[in-house]
Amino acid sequence: MNLRPRRQEDPEINLINMIDVLLVLLIFFMVSTTFNQEGRVKVQLPQSSDTPIPRGSHEPLVITVTAEGAYRVNERTLINSSPDTLRAALVKEAGTDRGPITIRADARTTHQAVVTAMDVAGKLGFAQLNIATVHEDHAP
């Protein structure tokens, strides 16, 4: 009769198989996941053509917006940059003719100054507003 106590084996968990399964799952999820690039904003920029637009018998009014936000109508500087002064100058220059208007804005001017000029012209009934641009070849 064997009276010696039996040597008990320590139970062990085989981790190698579990690690293999986890790595396969990790690779599967990495390959099947689509990453959205939410930080990018997609903006469709306006385009201009090289062909000139046929003009009528009269030249359009030109509103120039300087870098400081001051307005000029047909190269005449206004006394201040308020919308009322711009409205009065446009009525004086155009009279009853509501032909096209070209807005020439400095690249460093505020967006608000350009929007104000467009808003004043739109409220006076000018339907055709053009914004003057330069091509990259001619840019300073």
- Give the domain ranges of the chain: 61-131
Torsion of CA 117, 122, 124, 127, to 10 degrees: 120
Residue 99 CA to residue 60 CA, distance in Å, equals 6
pLDDT score at 58: 63
- pLDDT-based confidence at 115, cuts 50/70/90? very high
Pick the CATH number of 61-131 from 3.30.70.380, 3.30.420.270, 1.10.357.10, 3.40.50.720: 3.30.420.270
- For tokens 């030249």, what's the residue? 59
Residue 57 CA to residue 127 CA, distance in Å, equals 17
Residue 72 CA to residue 49 CA, distance in Å, equals 26
Q: What is the pLDDT of residues 61-105, one digit of tens each?
A: 899 999 898 999 988 889 998 999 999 999 998 888 888 999 999
- For tokens 């053009």, what's the residue? 130
End-to-end C-alpha distance for the chain, whole angstroms: 106
pLDDT score at 15: 87
